[in-house]
Amino acid sequence: MKSEKISELTTSRLSVYLRCLNTLAAAGIKTVSSRSLAEQFNLNSAQIRKDLAYFGEFGVRGVGYFIEDLRRHITKILGLDTLHRVGIIGAGNLGSALANYNGFTQSNFEVVALFDNDKAKIGRSVGQAEITVYDVKKMERVMREKGIDVAVIAVPARAAQMVLNQLMAAGIKAVLNFAPARLRVRHGVKLKTVDLTISLESLSYFLASPQAAASVAQKPSRQAQRKSVRREEREL
């Protein structure tokens, strides 16, 4: 692996590649070239090769990538070869829906606890997995006992910073935030915010400005096409 810092965009694309490889593996396909992978899943073959090159040499010239080997390597790179236990703070509609989401287990994440300050919810079980809702005041102890290493914030914006402070005090270093708020995080803690409103407003812009949408989808120039062809000639 190269010593230079790997961007979050790169790791996000690795997750996409892994999902695509899982699809190919399920179809019984054993090998794939970067070009074929790009064509099937609307990706960029040059970007695939560049991203993978950060972590080593995985392909075989004239053959391509062995899908099972590449899946195993990317799974390890992303740390998905280890089970991550997830705690969700906020047992409202969003928190309960996330707790019921089956897709987490496919990526080696397991929701093991919900937390809330509503006495009517504390002690109840949520979803088919019957995940217990704990008192948020006991969050640090429960997270330690259950080995939780990833937390999800699903509380109103006004309470999000206080919850994040509690999580950092409990030693949690990876937090996914759904609250529409700008949060202050200390060094050594990774915070990723998913703001659904911003995403919807971005879609609204494209609906209101079809010319802008068309310009994004325009075909590449002849020069870009020629460069792409030359890159493909050098690919695996």
Select the CATH number that applies to the domain covering 8-77 from these four: 3.40.50.620, 1.10.10.10, 3.40.50.720, 3.90.45.10: 1.10.10.10
Query: Residue 90's pLDDT is what?
Result: 98
- The mean pLDDT value for 137-165 works out to 97
- The mean pLDDT value for 150-171 works out to 97
- Cβ 30 vs Cβ 67: under 8 Å: yes
pTM of the entire predicted model: 0.83
Q: What percent of the chain has pLDDT over 90?
A: 74
Query: Residue 221's pLDDT is what?
Result: 52
Residue 163 clears pLDDT 70, i.e. is over it: yes
Distance CA 106, CA 110 (A): 9
Extended beta strands in the chain, E state: 31-32, 59-60, 64-66, 84-89, 109-116, 125-126, 131-135, 150-153, 174-177, 190-193
| Collapsed DSSP state (helix, strand, coil) of residue 61 | coil
Residue 225 clears pLDDT 60, i.e. is over it: no
Tokens of 21: 């490889």
What architecture does CATH give domain 84-194? 3-Layer(aba) Sandwich (3.40)
In the Cβ-directed half-sphere of 196, how many Cα atoms lie within 13 Å? 6
Comparing 6 with 131, the larger pLDDT belongs to: 131
- Candidates 149, 24, 34, 164; CA nearest to 89 is 164
Please state, rounded to an integer, the average pLDDT across all residues of the chain.
89
Quick: pLDDT tens for 90-133.
999 999 999 999 888 888 999 999 999 999 999 999 988 899 99
- Cβ 185 vs Cβ 165: under 8 Å: no
- Non-local (6+) Cβ contacts of 92 within 8 A are 116, 154, 155
Distance CA 14, CA 16 (A): 5
Quick: pLDDT tens for 17-32.
999 999 999 999 999 9
Query: Residue 59's pLDDT is what?
Result: 83
Residue 192 clears pLDDT 50, i.e. is over it: yes
- Residue 127 Ramachandran class (φ > 0 left, ψ -120 to 50 alpha, else beta): left
- Rounded to whole angstroms, what are the CA distances from 192 to 65, 85, 174? 31, 17, 8
Angle at the Cα of 63 from the Cα atoms of 58 and 69, rounded to 5 degrees: 40
- The mean pLDDT value for 60-64 works out to 88
Residue 219 clears pLDDT 90, i.e. is over it: no
- Candidates 150, 140, 144, 139; CA nearest to 176 is 150
Confidence bin at 230 (pLDDT 50/70/90):
low
Residue 216 clears pLDDT 60, i.e. is over it: no
- Cβ 108 vs Cβ 84: under 8 Å: yes
Q: How far apart are the first and last CA of the chain?
A: 20
Block residue for tokens 């493909």: 232
Residue 233 clears pLDDT 50, i.e. is over it: no
Query: Residue 227's pLDDT is what?
Result: 55
Query: Residue 115's pLDDT is what?
Result: 98
Tokens of 161: 């910073």
List the chain domain ranges: 8-77, 84-194, 200-234
Tokens of 121: 């919810």
Query: Residue 60's pLDDT is what?
Result: 87
